[in-house]
C-alpha cells in the first residue's frame, strides 16, 4: 500500500493529513514512542527512540536516532538498532546509553520468542564515535531471574556509575505489582543480581499501583534521590516521581507525586545537559482511538524540561533551551482587569505558540483559558480545551470537549494550584500570607499538543485534534481578577529546517 492509499478512509474517501507539530520532535515517518539513551557527547545531543518505520502503529520496535546542537533543532540519522536476530526478533525495546571506557554502548531490552511467547533479555550493542553503525553482542547480558512470585515483565535497563562499580536497575511486574530489580558489576560485562531495590509493597502511595513498572530511572539530585516510574496496567497510566534516598541497596521513599497530570505523557528519559544539570524528555501518546491512526506519523516528544531539587523537593520546570523557539511576540498586554476589554486577551494563530500569564485572584474568583482547534470564521469548532483556574477549590482543571453535532466532555485532568500565596506586591514562596493568589502559567500549544506548567513545577499535558486537521487555533482568557502579564510568542525552530527532514512537504 502506498502512502496515498494509507491516507484513505474506510469508505475510500481521502482523509486530509494531520499536520505535524512545529516544534515538538516526531519520527521521520510513522510510529514513535519512548525516548532512549539521550546523551550529550562531543558538542551534540543524541536521542534514540522507540520507532516503527513501517507503520503508524506500535510493532517490533527499532531504535530511531537523531542529533541536535540544542535539544530543539533535530536532524534524523539512520536507524541504530533493528529487530534482526533471534534474540530480538520481536523488538529492540527500551534501554540506555553508557560510555564504556571510551566505547559508546547501548544496553537495551531484546525481545525474542520461546515457544511462541516473548522472551525478554538484556543485551548490548557498541559503536564508534559516530554513533551511526552499531554491532550487537552475540549473547544476552542478563536473563530474567526466577523470583517468587514470578516476574510478569522484565525490561528497560537503566545503568549508572556509582563509585567503583556499575549499577543497573530493570523494571518488572508481578501479581503483587511493580518491581525494580538491582544489579551490580565491576566492568559492565559480569553482573550480579542484588535484589529488589524497590517494590510496590515498599510504596505508601496509590500512585504506584499497577501490574508493571516500566522505564525506571534513578536520578541523583544532591541530597535527594529520585525514581521515575512509568506505571502500566492494561495500558500506560501515568508517570510517578518518587522522592527519597538510595540507602545501601534499597530505595527508601519519602514522597510520591505525578510527573504530569495529563493523559498523554509516558516513559520520560532523564539525562545530563551540556552544563551538567538534568533534563527530561517524555513521549506524548496519541489519544485518538487506534482506528483513527491513518496518518503517516504517530507520537511526539515533549519539549525538554529541567528537573532539580529545590528546598528538599523535586521541581520539573520548562528548560532554558526552549527560549530559542520564540520567534515573534504576538501579544503583550499587562496590568489589565478582565472587565477592561476581554477581546484584547483573545488571539488566533497557526502553528505553535507559547503563552505566559500571571494573574492575581481572590478566593471565589475563577479564570478560564480556552484553546479551540479549527476556529474558523464560520464558527465551526471541533476540539476545545478549557483550563479552569479555581482559587476556592485550590486546583487547575483541564477539560477536553469534542464538538460536532453533539458535545461530549472527557473527565478533567487536574493538578493542585501552586502553593505560593502572596500579598500583592510582595512574595514569599510557600507561605499563606493573605487571600490573594498569584497564578503563573506557561502554556505551549503546538498543533495537536498542549503543555501547561505552573511556576512551582506542576504539569498538565494533553493532545487535541481538529477535524479537518488544518484549521487555525484560538486562545482566549476570561474571568475575574487582574492580569499582571499575558504574553504570547509564536514558536519556530529558527534557521534549522533539519527538524523537518523526512517529513511531508
Name every residue whose Cβ is closer than 8 Å to that of residue 79 and which is 6 or more positions away in sequence: 51, 53, 62, 63, 64, 65
Architecture of domain 21-318: 5 Propeller (2.115)
Q: Cis (ω within 30 of 0) for the bond into 149?
A: yes
pLDDT, position 470:
60
pLDDT band at 357 (very low <50, low <70, confident <90, very high): confident
pLDDT band at 1 (very low <50, low <70, confident <90, very high): very low
Domain edges within the chain: 21-318, 324-499
21-318 and 324-499 have identical folds: no
pLDDT band at 484 (very low <50, low <70, confident <90, very high): confident
Of residues 414 and 430, more confidently modeled: 414
Global pTM value: 0.88
Identify the DSSP state of 470: T
CA distance 135 to 36: 17
Lowest mean pLDDT among 58-62, 122-126, 335-339: 335-339
Q: Cis (ω within 30 of 0) for the bond into 419?
A: no
User: What would the mean pLDDT of 19-27 be, rounded to a whole number?
Assistant: 93
Architecture of domain 324-499: Sandwich (2.60)
Of residues 433 and 305, more confidently modeled: 305
pLDDT digits (tens, 9 = 90+) for 395-420: 677 776 654 322 233 455 656 655 43
Q: Beta-strand (E) ranges in 133-264? A: 134-136, 142-143, 153-162, 165-174, 177-185, 192-199, 212-221, 224-232, 236-247, 250-258
Name the average pLDDT for the chain.
83
**Can 100 be counted among the known catalytic residues?**
no
Lowest mean pLDDT among 100-114, 142-156, 263-277, 370-384: 370-384
Contact 486, 345 (CB under 8 A): yes
CA distance 217 to 262: 20
φ/ψ of residue 292, rounded to 5: -90, 0
How many beta carbons lie within 10 A of that of residue 316, not counting itself?
Answer: 22
Contact 87, 69 (CB under 8 A): no
- Which of 11, 34, 260, 456 is the catalytic position? 34
pLDDT, position 434:
42
Closest by CA position to 370, among listed 350, 392, 355: 355
Amino acid at each position: 500500500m502506498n502512502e496515498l492509499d494509507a491516507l484513505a478512509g474506510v469508505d475510500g474517501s481521502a482523509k486530509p493529513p494531520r499536520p505535524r507539530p512545529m516544534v515538538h520532535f516526531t519520527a521521520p515517518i510513522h510510529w514513535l514512542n519512548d525516548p532512549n539513551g539521550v546523551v550529550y557527547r562531543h558538542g551534540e545531543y543524541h536521542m534514540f527512540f522507540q520507532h516503527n518505520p513501517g507503520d503508524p502503529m506500535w510493532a517490533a520496535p527499532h531504535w530511531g536516532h537523531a542529533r541536535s546542537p540544542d535539544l530543539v533543532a533535530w536532524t534524523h540519522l539512520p536507524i541504530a538498532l533493528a529487530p534482526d536476530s533471534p534474540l530480538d526478533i520481536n523488538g529492540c525495546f527500551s534501554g540506555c546509553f553508557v560510555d564504556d571506557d571510551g566505547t559508546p554502548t547501548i544496553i537495551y531490552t531484546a525481545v525474542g520468542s520461546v515457544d511462541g511467547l516473548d522472551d525478554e533479555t538484556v543485551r548490548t550493542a557498541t559503536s564508534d564515535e559516530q554513533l551511526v553503525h552499531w554491532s550487537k553482542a552475540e549473547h544476552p547480558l542478563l536473563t530474567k531471574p526466577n523470583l517468587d512470585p514470578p516476574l510478569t515483565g522484565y525490561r528497560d535497563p537503566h545503568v549508572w556509575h556509582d563509585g567503583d562499580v556499575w549499577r543497573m536497575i530493570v523494571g518488572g511486574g508481578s501479581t503483587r505489582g511493580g518491581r525494580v530489580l538491582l544489579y551490580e558489576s565491576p566492568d559492565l560485562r559480569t553482573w550480579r543480581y542484588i535484589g529488589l531495590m524497590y517494590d510496590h509493597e515498599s510504596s505508601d502511595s496509590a500512585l504506584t499501583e499497577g501490574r508493571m513498572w516500566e522505564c525506571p530511572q534513578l536520578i541523583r539530585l544532591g541530597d535527594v534521590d529520585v525514581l521515575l516510574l512509568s506505571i502500566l496496567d492494561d495500558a500506560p497510566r501515568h508517570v510517578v516521581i518518587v522522592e527519597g534516598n538510595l540507602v545501601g541497596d534499597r530505595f527508601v521513599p519519602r514522597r510520591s507525586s505525578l510527573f504530569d497530570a495529563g493523559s498523554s505523557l509516558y516513559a520520560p528519559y532523564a539525562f545530563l545537559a551540556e552544563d551538567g544539570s538534568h533534563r527530561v524528555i517524555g513521549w506524548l501518546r496519541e489519544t485518538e482511538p487506534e482506528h483513527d491512526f491513518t496518518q503517516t506519523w504517530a507520537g511526539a516528544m515533549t519539549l525538554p524540561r529541567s528537573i532539580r531539587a529545590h528546598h528538599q523537593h523535586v521541581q520539573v520546570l520548562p528548560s532554558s533551551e526552549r527560549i530559542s523557539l520564540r520567534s515573534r511576540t504576538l501579544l503583550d498586554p499587562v496590568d489589565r482587569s478582565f472587565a477592561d476589554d476581554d477581546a484584547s486577551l483573545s488571539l488566533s494563530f497557526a502553528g505553535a505558540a507559547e503563552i505566559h500569564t500571571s494573574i492575581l485572584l481572590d478566593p471565589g474568583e475563577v479564570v478560564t483559558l480556552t484553546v479551540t482547534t479549527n476556529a474558523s470564521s464560520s464558527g465551526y469548532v471541533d476540539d476545545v480545551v478549557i483550563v479552569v483556574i479555581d482559587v476556592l477549590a485550590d486546583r487547575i482543571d483541564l477539560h477536553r470537549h469534542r464538538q460536532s453535532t453533539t458535545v461530549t466532555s472527557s473527565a478533567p485532568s487536574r493538578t493542585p494550584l501552586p502553593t505560593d500565596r502572596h500579598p500583592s506586591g510582595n512574595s514569599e514562596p510557600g507561605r499563606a500570607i493573605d487571600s490573594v493568589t498569584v497564578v503563573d502559567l506557561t502554556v505551549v500549544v503546538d498543533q495537536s499538543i498542549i503543555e501547561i506548567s505552573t511556576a512551582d513545577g506542576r504539569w498538565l499535558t494533553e493532545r487535541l485534534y481538529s477535524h479537518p486537521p488544518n484549521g487555525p487555533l484560538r486562545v482566549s482568557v476570561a474571568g475575574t481578577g487582574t492580569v499582571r502579564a499575558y504574553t504570547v510568542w509564536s514558536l519556530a525552530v529558527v534557521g534549522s529546517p533539519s527538524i523537518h527532514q523526512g517529513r511531508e512537504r
